[in-house]
Amino acid sequence: MSISRKLGTLVFFGVPAIIGGGIVYALFGDSYAAVSVYEIALLITAGAFARA
């Protein structure tokens, strides 16, 4: 996979990390633990796409 495609994948998952992190934080009663779980799951998914 080319470097430009890897960077595009990381940008594609960067937006949900920022916006989704705030939504998860608000939905789960100001819980950073829930945000951490969400971010880790997103990171694993992005890593799987970037590695392929």
pLDDT tops 70 at residue 49:
yes
Total-model pTM: 0.76
Q: What is the pLDDT of residues 6-27, one digit of tens each?
A: 788 778 888 888 999 999 999 9
* Full 3-state SS string of 19-45: HHHHHHHHHCCCCHHHHHHHHHHHHHH
Q: How many CB atoms lie within 10 A of CB 31?
A: 13
pLDDT tops 70 at residue 4:
yes
